[in-house]
Amino acid sequence: MTRRHLIQVKELAELVRNHGGILGAIEYGVASTEIADPEIANAWRQIEIRYRQLRPSLSTVSRVLKKAA
């Protein structure tokens, strides 16, 4: 996601709300490097790291559950 300005906390809250939560906003493309507030940007970066680690397992579980349905 390319932005011309850093995302302020109020904007971030709206993005999270509009995209179904923090993970939805990350999937949409909101990156920690685009967040103005350093405390939130650092926490967001930690979530991005953990989400990248979890993604393969989430995909596997999702695939198996879809087959079972």
Name the domain count of the chain: 1
Q: Is the pLDDT score of 3 beyond 60? A: no
What is d(CA 42, CA 1) in angstroms, rounded to the nearest whole number? 18
Does residue 2 sit within a domain? no
How many C-alpha atoms does 68 have within 13 Å on its Cβ side? 6
Does residue 38 sit within a domain? yes
Q: Is the pLDDT score of 2 beyond 70? A: no
Q: Which domain holds residue 61?
A: 9-68
Does residue 46 sit within a domain? yes
3-class DSSP assignment, residue 30:
coil
Does residue 16 sit within a domain? yes
Does residue 44 sit within a domain? yes
* pLDDT > 70 fraction of the chain, expressed in percent and rounded: 96
- What confidence score (pLDDT) does residue 4 get? 74
pTM of the prediction?
Answer: 0.84
Angle at 58 between CA 30 and CA 15, to 5 degrees: 20
pLDDT in tens, 5-52: 999 999 999 999 999 999 999 999 999 999 999 999 999 999 999 999
